[in-house]
Amino acid sequence: MFERLERLSPDPILGLMAAFRADADPRKVDLGVGVYRNDQGDTPILRAVRQAEQAMLGRQTTKVYVAPAGNPGFNQALERLVLGDDHSTLTGGRVRTIQAPGGCGALRLGAELIRAADPAAVVHVSTPTWANHVPLLSGCGLKLERYPYFDPATGGVNFSAMLAALERLPARAVVLLHASCHNPTGADLSEAQWRELVALFKRRGLLPFIDIAYQGLGTGVAEDAFGPRLFGAELPEVLVAVSCSKNFGLYRERTGALLVINETPAAAETALTQLVRIARTLYSMPPDHGAAIVHEILANEDLRAMWAEEVAAMRARIQGLRREAVEQLKRTCPQRDFGFIERQRGMFSYLGVDVEQVRELRTRHHVYMTDDSRINIAGLHRENLEYFAKAVAMALTGT
Ligand code: LMR
């Protein structure tokens, strides 16, 4: 049977992670996989997570299954974190949530729900989008198309092209949006642009599928959820895929959820029955640990305050690094304007070098980034920033 299988090349992001780990050069710089790092280049467990974990482990008395939709306390806490405490969809009972194995699990559950409702549905993703969106969403058989998004000339969003493309979509077309910290470009929609979009979605009858994977790492915890909050308040149906990997630092615990906002509580409940069935056929039930930690943190005033401080520190560090990277690059590459890096948000930016230069940076300077020149800003720190800026200058000038 398995002799027939074709050997596949590694995933572009995870393959890079493995190549970096195997590189023995002490100067190596990891700007590949989207993992937050501190000034020492480490990804430590958040203090709030550590404390929540200890409190919770001491109290847990069983390992019996949680529930088909996961931990109800976690689901409710996450709804409030994403939508805000008194959001009209919550007071109106129009939201149902299923815990998922990470943001990826949530995205796949959402795609499967769309396919169950309409096997011919088309999902439109931004150009570019996170590499794994494509297999995650199309893997269940949904058709994928693209809409224009990033403008390399400005480093921002080509909003008029985006609007024009979405305006042409038929009713019930699904549009995947990044709530904040767009992966891979760092180019986010402004509040005014979200408002224009919601009017378009309403007029055209489009279904938004919002991916929120970096809440708190862009502008602020509430600010980064502006899109889902506005869309939820204004539209009858919205899907929101939530990841706790980055903002809680729970990467390996696979912690996330899918929120379904529907027109009525009964319709939301129906969608949840479908989701529970879909999860049952894929992996039965989600893992407990990460969700239990997040629930513990969000339900406890002190831990929640500690977490909010830690997220704010991550955000401030990323913004600081963005400023410093621009400063350093200005000195080493005066011929080129890297100012867009400071205007963008979240962990990623496109450096804007070609694939040969990316390879040169990797093989000659041990600076790792994906082939499209996406850099994880959080992988920079005081020790490697100057080295990085010099390596970029050498790659750009061919010296
Ligand atoms: C990334 O974009 O690097 C992260 O979201 C990690 C991943 O799974 O690709």
Q: Could you read off the pLDDT of 104-114 as tens digits, one per residue?
A: 999 999 999 99
Residue with CA nearest ligand 1 atom 2 = 34
Distance (Å) from CA 359 to ligand 1 centroid: 20
354's tokens: 């070609």
Spatial neighbors of 53 by CB under 8 A, at least 6 apart, are 45, 293, 296
Residue with CA nearest ligand 1 atom 6 = 34
User: What string of DSSP letters covers 192-256?
Assistant: HHHHHHHHHHHHHT-EEEEEE--TTTSS-TTGGGHHHHHHHHH-S-EEEEEE-TTTS--GGG-EE
Please report the pLDDT score of residue 157 as a whole number: 98
Distance (Å) from CA 37 to ligand 1 centroid: 14
303's tokens: 């831990």
pTM: 0.97
Burial of 10 (0-12, 13-18, 19+ CB in 10 A): exposed
Please report the pLDDT score of residue 399 as a whole number: 86
Q: Could you read off the pLDDT of 202-211 as tens digits, one per residue?
A: 999 999 999 9
Q: Which residues line ligand 1 (CB under 6 A)?
A: 13, 33-34, 130, 132, 183
Q: Could you read off the pLDDT of 251-305 as tens digits, one per residue?
A: 999 999 999 999 999 999 999 999 999 999 999 999 999 999 999 999 999 999 9
CA–CA separation, 78 and 66 (whole Å) = 17
Please report the pLDDT score of residue 310 as a whole number: 98
Q: Are 213 and 224 in contact (CB under 8 A)?
A: no
Residue with CA nearest ligand 1 atom 9 = 13
Distance (Å) from CA 333 to ligand 1 centroid: 29
Residue of 16, 107, 132, 178 with the most ligand 1 atoms within 8 Å of its CB, for mutation: 132
Closest ligand 1 atom to 103 CA:
5
Closest ligand 1 atom to 213 CA:
5
Residue with CA nearest ligand 1 atom 1 = 34
Closest ligand 1 atom to 32 CA:
3
DSSP helix/strand/coil, 101: strand
Assess whether pLDDT exceeds 90 at residue 52.
yes
Distance (Å) from CA 143 to ligand 1 centroid: 22
Distance (Å) from CA 89 to ligand 1 centroid: 30
Please report the pLDDT score of residue 26 as a whole number: 94
Which residues are catalytically annotated?
Answer: 130, 211, 213, 246
Closest ligand 1 atom to 245 CA:
5
Provide the 8-state DSSP code for 378: G
Q: Residue 128, preceding bond cis, omega within 30 degrees?
A: yes
- Cβ neighbours of 191 (radius 10 Å): 11
Residue with CA nearest ligand 1 atom 5 = 34
Band of residue 189 on the pLDDT scale cut at 50, 70, 90: very high
Residue of 130, 251, 253, 368 with the most ligand 1 atoms within 8 Å of its CB, for mutation: 130
Closest ligand 1 atom to 184 CA:
2
Distance (Å) from CA 28 to ligand 1 centroid: 19
Q: Could you read off the pLDDT of 107-150 as tens digits, one per residue?
A: 999 999 999 999 999 999 999 999 999 999 999 999 999 999 99
Please report the pLDDT score of residue 142 as a whole number: 97
Assess whether pLDDT exceeds 90 at residue 178.
yes
Assess whether pLDDT exceeds 90 at residue 162.
yes
Mean pLDDT, rounded, for 38-62: 95
Q: Could you read off the pLDDT of 322-354 as tens digits, one per residue?
A: 999 999 999 999 999 999 999 999 999 999 999
Please report the pLDDT score of residue 143 as a whole number: 98
User: What string of DSSP letters covers 307-376?
Assistant: HHHHHHHHHHHHHHHHHHHHHHHHHH-TTS--THHHHS-SSEEE----HHHHHHHHHHH-EE--TT-EEE
368's tokens: 């790792």
Longest dimension (CA), the chain: 65
